[in-house]
Structure 1
Amino acid sequence: MAIDQSRTSLRRFLARLTADEETLEAESLQRESAKSGCMPAGLCMRGQLVTLTGRLKTVVYTPRTNLPTLEADLYDGSDVVTLVWLGRRHIAGIEPGRQLTARGRVAVRDDRKVIYNPHYELEATR
């Protein structure tokens, strides 16, 4: 039994040594999400009320004639959910690389998971 655990530990160690930075970041974000008790983005489905935590990958202001939007892609290591604030041009603290926790109902737009006007809490910068 101890030999099997040693082999498993050695395999994990070697996998981490050879993994690229993107894979290591995804694993780290997934661990943080699991510790916080939030649902993994990869498992959430349309219509569910969810709480997600992760890092903002992109933030884009989309000017539209009738309703401008601020959109941010939240990545938790398992999937991306786009957070959409309707009628907003800018929100202090919503910037790429920022860690946050968001809560809202999942919708699907253009085959992408979105949450409109989510409740959110910014995490302390690291």
Structure 2
Amino acid sequence: MSVSGDGYWRRLMRRLTSDVTELDADDLSREAEAVGAMRACDCKSGEEVTVMGRLRSVEMCPRDSAATLEAELFDGTEGVTLVWLGRRRIAGIEPGRTIKARGRIAVRDGRKVLYNPYYELQNAS
């Protein structure tokens, strides 16, 4: 059998025996790479980055009477918290939605954060 045929069978067996969550993470990671986004696990504090992934959660967090909207973006490698200060809601920012976000990475409580990121809603696939 040819080398490319071996690769096909190996990929097929992996897809048949892998966990659905793992496969979804692999697909997210590939999609992000295809549009030129950085992998979240490779982002370092202080860097200007573009990340793309699916929103796992979205919540409004009032702190000291200032509204804050927070969303967890997962790109298949790691999560990044997106924080919009002074916002209670943003149309289209909802769990399950795929977005591309751009900004400067910070670290808060050991987690990667983008404050007031520029973002693009991606077409539902």
When normalised by structure 1's length, the TM-score is 0.92
SS for the counterpart of 1:67 is coil
- Which segment is superposed worse, 57-66 or 100-109? 57-66
Note the C-alpha offset of 1:8.
3.3
Bigger shift: residues 3-12 or 59-68: 3-12
| Number of the residue aligned with 2:86 | 87
Q: Which residue of structure 2 lines up, in the alignment, with residue 115 of structure 1?
A: 114
Aligned positions of 1:1-126 closer than 5 A:
3-126=2-125
Length, aligned pairs only: 125
Q: What 5-or-longer segments of structure 2 have no aligned partner?
A: none
Q: What is the identity, as a one-letter code, of the residue corresponding to 2:73?
A: L
Query: Considering only aligned residues, what root-mean-square deviation do their CA atoms show, in Å?
Result: 1.3
TM-score (norm 2): 0.93
SS of corresponding position for 1:70? strand
Q: Deviations over 1:44-65 (max 9, x none)?
A: 0100000111110100111122
> Displacement, 1:4?
4.2
Q: What percent of counterpart residues are identical?
A: 52
Consecutive unaligned residues of structure 1, counting only runs of 5 or more, are: none
